[in-house]
Structure 1
Amino acid sequence: MFNRYSSDEIELKNAASQDLKTDEKDNKSNGCLRNGRKYLTTYLQEGNIHGLKYLAERRTAIEKIWWLIALIVALYGCITLILLTYKKWETSPVIVSFATKETPIFDIPFPTVTICPEVKSRTTIFNYTDILYKKQDGVKLDNQTELQFAYMSEICTFHKELKYPVPKYFDNSIYDFYQDVSPNFYDDVSDCMFMGSNYNCSDIFKPIVVDEGLCYAFNLLDRSDMLNDNVAVYKNLHKMSDQKAAWSLNEGYTSLKGRDIYPKRALYAGALFSLELKFKVEDKNLDFTCGTSIQGYKIQIHQPSMLPRPKNQHFRIPLDQSVIAAVMPNMITTSEAVKNYSPSRRKCYFSSERTLKYFKTYTQQNCQIECITNYTLHECGCVDFYMPREANTPICGTPMKGCVKKADDDRLEAGINAQLSEKMGLKYEPTRAYKQTLVCDCMPECTFMSYIVENSQSDWDWERKYQMDRNSPSYNKSTTHMSYLQVFFKSNQFITSDRNELYGVTDFLANFGGLLGLFTGFSALSLVEILYFLTLRIICNIKLYGRRHWYGEDK
């Protein structure tokens, strides 16, 4: 059988068929575009977003350009304000404002009063000045005296030019030494009163070791309520009460007991309901080479769950002076809604979110003490005598004093340099100390409490007072010095601050929707309308008018 068509005819037939298919494809594509334009025109004419219908009308070009520019400007302004609102919600979601009602002082504990004598040793037991002069003159001392001088150098002015032929690490005998040589606090304080009642001073003031050496604290939480079980505490130090604390920073008082509750709280404000006591200092024990030349006592007033650091924060009670401290609480509480934000956004920690190695309660200062303790242990292999530690952790001896000081200085300097670099927009290369500080992440506690103290002082002619009192012991002002301290609340109520949401999710959506409505007239139904035009209307148009006329009925 022969083919009826030549090869040229077959090629012409194939080309014609290909052109026909191409034309059909172009017509179909053009039809889709035409239908799409018609459908878009329908939305622009019937949609409820302001200004769009003017772009679909048969108007002059200048009118359409006018409305196009107006729409672009409105969208730009709307998007800009929405981004600013979102940035504010993201970076500062929490605001601190005053509470709507006052809080009675009965709801919070009376402040902890930590007292540190400037006299660190009795001259009859250990004469620091005499031993210092011998060391400076090159006099050879026995091993026991060298060790005792090294102990005193931990709390007195450190003379790095002197040699300290003592072990690198100390043991617990350093605490025994401080208790043996320091003036008997309970002999030197008298007339202790609280809330108008007389107390034995030894019952309300308990010994504690801090960065100033051996000090005495009133109304501080017991070691069982403040420190974890892994912390080694020597003998009777930091033993405040046999009771279980009925107060915590986050929950407040959990018991309805009154005057005898622990920690103690004030019943009323004013000088009649204060903590007051008198101090005595023997002139022969004054030592102007150990520490500063200012004699008397250092006082730190703080909340009961915070470990004191009087070397950093204190006010003084000079000799022969009467000092009055009027206290006003400063407290910040945090609403439950703020818990939904991450700590990095709200800039604080709830106690349930942070657990510390040495402390049961999270506070910023407790965290900072633990941070420098861990860094010192990492750098020096030991910790300073006042730092919390485990039983097997060595105490840094005087030969390690330089390492301890360098660790503290490096950590502080790294933090300051990082903050300055960030403020000036400079690149900061993190040091090992700064990385350790970042690991600590010691942000403030969400429930915060402190005490604002207003001091006043005046000369106290105590000698004449005791001369006129027949029942008082006679003291000679040339050999004895007396001082007086009184601490009380200024008022019966105080205003707390509340940490609340600046923008919740509802507030943000309201702002977001309000801006869209203001600039474009957009609403929730506008979104429903857009979804309707993209889905359901197309499907229904196909059923009503067929696939070729899915855009709908011609107008």
Structure 2
Amino acid sequence: MKGHEMSWLEKINVFKQFILDRIFKPYWKVLKQYLANCNIHGVKYLVGAEYTIAEKIFWLIACIVSYWGCSVMIISVLEQYVTDPVAVTAETSYLNWKTPFPSLALCYQPKLKGREYATELVERDKQQENFWSKIFFIHSFGFTSAPSLITAEELLKIYETMIIPCPDIFASCSWNGKPFDCCKEFKSYKTGLGYCLGINSYHTKNPDESDLKFYVNRTIKYGTMIIDLVKNEARQRVLSMFIMNNLNLPLLTSSEERSLTSKTGINAEFTLRNIYNEKGVKGVPMKRRNCRFPFEVTENSLFPIYSSDSCALEVYINRMINLCGCVSFFYPAYPNARICNMTETECLFHKKETIISTNNLKKICYPDCEGTDIKLTSYPDFLDPDAPTNVFRIRLRLMSHPTVRYYRYVVMTELDLVVAVGSAMGLFMGASILSLCEIPYWLFIRRDRIS
């Protein structure tokens, strides 16, 4: 006689019994032992045999509400730690501050409009003007008499004819009435506006390494820098002047707001607000603090330090390479990058808006963690009665000692996070670090006590 075949319902019941006997019950006994002996408040009332169903339901509700409150508090703390790791406030206790003086840059760049400058070159005596300079400016601004191709080397040579030796630019320089060697402090560097001479810039020289300390503090309460340029109309047409903080660079996208323009002289007065960072800010990951320090330079960077301007400049350079296959001779270039010839320069000209577009720039370049905010008041066509008649005077003067600075600090450190999470678990659950040690102890080590 054939054995009785089980129905599907009987098979399901057998399988359920197997799960209960072989898997659920053994693990439930282990978990029950842990809940009965651990020091987390409330859970022992859920498994004790001496407690009624009503008591167990009461403590179950109490534990659920308590754990929910603990979870909400911990999630709030974690969100604050991730999204708002640092904050900026204003500080007014200024006695021990050291605020850097702004940077001044003189860039070799024609100040007349292209067609006007090209026409002027043609009208001058041909023997006194550089032939390639004429061709460059005429061709660049639409004159048909220029050849269709000028090599990159010739373009560089054309531009180099505009560069004036440093001793021929400066008549004298002084800081708070003390003269200094102009060419020793003004250093050459290349930006999106070509070659520039810059003073007190981190991109050319660490200001702390200078013999002169271009900053103000409680002993140097005011700062006045006077730069006298040799007066020469032709030179003034190729020299553009910019005032910036020590991390900025002269760029096409920001040249207007930083430019100093005058025919007779410049008197620029300003106030400063520096940004100071608490030491702990450097330990916060870049993505969380949303700013970048000067020493956080990317690998293979063109610049010795990081700034939002240097990052933007490298973005423009990479766009040139991607769109036209080369880099403008006005810009610094990577060692393996080609300089554009005239035909490729026309490509850059037609795609200029795309190259210097600020779209997505903020996603690529972090703001500067350090820097100085400059509130500038410029008086153009300034004529200093004390200046010699044969100089073009630039006077930069701090109007008053800084009384406010921005202070970036860490809102919540790792220790604050641990304390906040531990406090929440202690308040709502009565748990501690030792509670975590009980988990392996009762689940694995003391399984021999399971009845």
**CA 1:401–1:375 in 2, change beyond 3 Å: closer, same or farther?**
same
- Do the aligned partners of 1:99 and 1:498 also contact (CA within 8 Å) in 2? no
Question: 1:516 Cα shift?
Answer: 2.0
2:211 corresponding residue in structure 1: 261
**Distance across 2 between alignment mates of 1:160 and 1:444:** 39
Matches within 5 A, 1:227-306: 247=206, 253=208, 261=211, 269-270=220-221, 273-278=223-228, 298-303=241-246
Unpaired runs of 5+ in structure 2? 4-13
**Distance across 2 between alignment mates of 1:151 and 1:458:** 31
Q: In structure 2, which of residues 250, 254, 265 is the aligned counterpart of residue 308 of structure 1?
A: 250
- Do the aligned partners of 2:226 and 2:396 also contact (CA within 8 Å) in 1? yes
2:147 corresponding residue in structure 1: 165
Q: In structure 1, which of residues 92, 108, 111 is the aligned counterpart of residue 102 of structure 2?
A: 111
- Do the aligned partners of 1:104 and 1:494 also contact (CA within 8 Å) in 2? no
Matches within 5 A, 1:36-115: 40=32, 43-44=35-36, 48-50=40-42, 53=45, 56=48, 58-59=51-52, 61=54, 64-96=56-88, 102=94, 110-115=101-106
Q: In structure 2, which of residues 311, 316, 331 is the aligned counterpart of residue 387 of structure 1?
A: 331
**Distance across 2 between alignment mates of 1:175 and 1:117:** 9
CA RMSD of aligned residues (A): 5.1
1:213-234 deviation line (CA, Å, top 9, x unaligned)? 565433446xxx85xxxxxxxx
Q: In structure 2, which of residues 345, 349, 372 is the aligned counterpart of residue 450 of structure 1?
A: 372
**CA 1:103–1:112 in 2, change beyond 3 Å: closer, same or farther?**
farther
Find the residue that maps to 2:431 and give its secondary structure: coil
- Do the aligned partners of 2:94 and 2:402 also contact (CA within 8 Å) in 1? no
Find the residue that maps to 2:161 and give its secondary structure: helix
**CA 1:525–1:456 in 2, change beyond 3 Å: closer, same or farther?**
same
| Structure exhibiting the larger radius of gyration computed from Cα positions | 1
1:523 corresponding residue in structure 2: 432
- Paired letter, 1:399: T
Question: 1:524 Cα shift?
Answer: 3.2
**Distance across 2 between alignment mates of 1:150 and 1:488:** 44
- Paired letter, 1:261: D
Question: 1:113 Cα shift?
Answer: 0.8
- Do the aligned partners of 1:347 and 1:443 also contact (CA within 8 Å) in 2? yes
- Paired letter, 1:178: M
Find the residue that maps to 1:416 and give its secondary structure: coil
**CA 1:310–1:35 in 2, change beyond 3 Å: closer, same or farther?**
closer
- Do the aligned partners of 1:178 and 1:214 also contact (CA within 8 Å) in 2? no
- Do the aligned partners of 2:88 and 2:406 also contact (CA within 8 Å) in 1? no
**Distance across 2 between alignment mates of 1:178 and 1:315:** 20
- Do the aligned partners of 1:117 and 1:298 also contact (CA within 8 Å) in 2? no
- Paired letter, 2:198: A
- Do the aligned partners of 1:178 and 1:213 also contact (CA within 8 Å) in 2? no
**Distance across 1 between alignment mates of 2:149 and 2:331:** 19
- Paired letter, 2:63: L
Question: 1:336 Cα shift?
Answer: 5.9
- Paired letter, 2:241: K
Question: 1:131 Cα shift?
Answer: 5.1
1:159-186 deviation line (CA, Å, top 9, x unaligned)? 4686753425332312332137xxx987
1:410 equivalent to 2:354? Answer yes
- Do the aligned partners of 2:70 and 2:425 also contact (CA within 8 Å) in 1? yes
Question: 1:380 Cα shift?
Answer: 2.0
Matches within 5 A, 1:412-451: 413=357, 416=359, 441-444=364-367, 448-451=370-373
1:509 equivalent to 2:418? Answer yes
**Distance across 2 between alignment mates of 1:406 and 1:444:** 29
Unpaired runs of 5+ in structure 1? 1-6, 12-21, 135-140, 227-244, 291-295, 420-437, 476-480, 542-549
